[in-house]
Amino acid sequence: MKQFFIPLFLVLSVLPPPPSLAIAQHQSVDFTQLEKVALKELKDTNTPGAAIAIVSGDRVVFEKGLGASNIETGIPVTPDTLFRIGSVTKMFTAAVLVTLAEEGKIKLDRPIGEYVNGLSRKLSQVTAHQLLSHTSGMTDESPSDYGSHDDRALAAYVRSLTDDDFFTEPGKIFSYSNPAFDVAGLLIEEVSGRPYADVMTERLFKPLNMSSTTFRPTMAMTYPLSQGHSGSGDVKPTVIRPFGDNVAGWPDGFMFSTVADLARFAMAFMGSNIKGTQVLKPPVINGLSTPYVDLRSPFGFGNGKYGYGLFVHDHRGLRVVWHAGLIPGFGALFQMVPSRRVAVVILANKSGALLNKTAETAMDLMLPLQEKATAEPKQVLAISNTEISEYVGIYTNKPERAEILVKGNKLILKLDDGEFLITKIGDYRFSITKPNESEAQEFVLVRGSDGKAEYLHIARHALKKQHINK
């Protein structure tokens, strides 16, 4: 539906350059090439429009709308056009919950049943830390993209969750879960005594001067608003009707925002004052960006970690904190390099559009990145019969299911979209290659307390091995 632990170290431990130096470094940047890359990527991905903002220090040094906000009307995108931002929403939900914890209104390491009543037995024992770090053990069976517009729908949905909405015990392993952030949203609501959307506005959007940002469609439609589009290949994109909305999923991915507003959040996160006030306090920033858990399987910038609502990666010599967002009709990419006080924000109005080439070009223009490493061929390792007998089985995390099986003396991974030959490339690390994809997809098997494979971890999700009694 929406895309995109024990603390090891603090992301912000390296002091950033002074604001004046950060700005001076980028005053002479020529963004002509960036615009060319962005326009080409819009054409190549058949995306109607996008907005881009680049932050350096206390300033937005580049801000541009490209293409159309609605393919039917041709209304152009501007930096003030609202887009749905998908799972980029998660860092905002996390920011408010961590702020409440810093104020002593909640403890992140205590069972949430102490603050919210009416929860299932297992859910009541989960902590806010586990929700925000995707270690709750909850599945990723998300709320529908279409549902109630009533504020009460969030509480109704969370209280409808049962112990069957867990694929494993809390605290065992990282596995991305949209419902976990919906639970975090209700926690915000219950602790604050007000609807989630109102708390987000009062606690975060207003202080940061994010004047257009909202969760409410009836507010969003009063501002310049992009429509979401769908389409594949060279077929002309079409506007998605009706416009999706479901209060039950607001905390995990339904926020409306602009690149201009998101740039203000980035500046505050990287140490700037907004309207003379430090809105995001250092403990909150550190709480969000501390890497708590390994991702296990490669995603985004490769192997990395997850904080609270943020991925944390080392990329070409610099630490990047980021999140992507995918929701029907829209794609969003939000990247920050706190040590250099640089951020790149890109919003697009077609399903699945992340404009990664544009983002990488912007990073190259703004940062002293190391040369891209040449990918070395993966060593292919033999798989013994003993290993095969250990690996074979069914792995689940509803609605996902995977099966490792043997066919003609070959080890196969069976997924919803087909069966793929497994290649062993490391200790409990493997790859598969899908037709029409240029790069192999890696996955890992994670051992349990008995030393044998207990989870299959692929594309941010852990699937638990099912032991069938014979």
Dump pLDDT digits (tens) for 125-143. 999 999 999 999 999 999 9
- pLDDT one-digit tens code per residue, 65-101: 999 999 999 999 999 999 999 999 999 999 999 999 9
Radius of gyration of the chain (CA): 22
15 pLDDT band (50/70/90 cuts)? very low
- Output the pTM of the full model: 0.92
pLDDT tens digits along 266-325: 999 999 998 888 999 999 999 999 999 998 776 666 668 999 999 999 989 899 999 999
Q: What average pLDDT score do residues 353-381 get? A: 90
CA angle 75, 80, 86 (to 5 degrees): 95
In this prediction, residue 27 carries a pLDDT of 57
CB count in 10 Å sphere of residue 145: 19
Are 307 and 11 in contact by the 8 Å Cβ rule? The answer is: yes
Sequence spans of domains, the chain? 1-373, 385-466
Task: Note whether 324 and 313 are within 8 A (CB).
Answer: no
Give the full edge-to-edge strand order of the sheet including 59-67: 59-67, 49-56, 342-348, 330-337, 318-327, 311-315, 305-306, 293-294
Name, in order, each residue with C-beta under 8 angstroms of 223's C-beta and a sequence gap of 6 or more. Answer: 80, 82, 212
Q: How far apart (Å, rounded) are the C-alpha atoms in residues 32 and 59?
A: 19
Percent above pLDDT 90 for the chain: 84
**Average pLDDT for residues 385-393, to the nearest whole number?**
95
Q: Do residues 78 and 98 lie in contact, with contact meaning Cβ atoms separated by under 8 Å?
A: no
- Tokens of residue 53, six digits: 């903002």
Place of tokens 């069966």: 419
Supply the pLDDT for residue 299.
64
Phi, psi of 345 (to 5 degrees): -125, 125
Residue 376 pLDDT class (50, 70, 90 cuts):
confident
Strands (E), 24-96: 49-56, 59-67, 83-84
The answer to whether 180 touches 165, Cβ cutoff 8 Å, is no
Dihedral of CA atoms 279, 282, 285, 287 in degrees, nearest 10, equals: -130
Output the CATH code of domain 1-373: 3.40.710.10
How far is residue 324's CA from residue 329's CA, in Å, rounded to a whole number?
14
CATH topology of domain 385-466: Lipocalin (2.40.128)
Position 12 scores a pLDDT of 33
CA-to-CA distance for 212 and 264, rounded, in angstroms?
A: 12
The pLDDT tens digits for 104-115 are: 999 999 999 999
CB-based contacts of 383, cutoff 8 Å, min separation 6: 391, 411, 422, 424
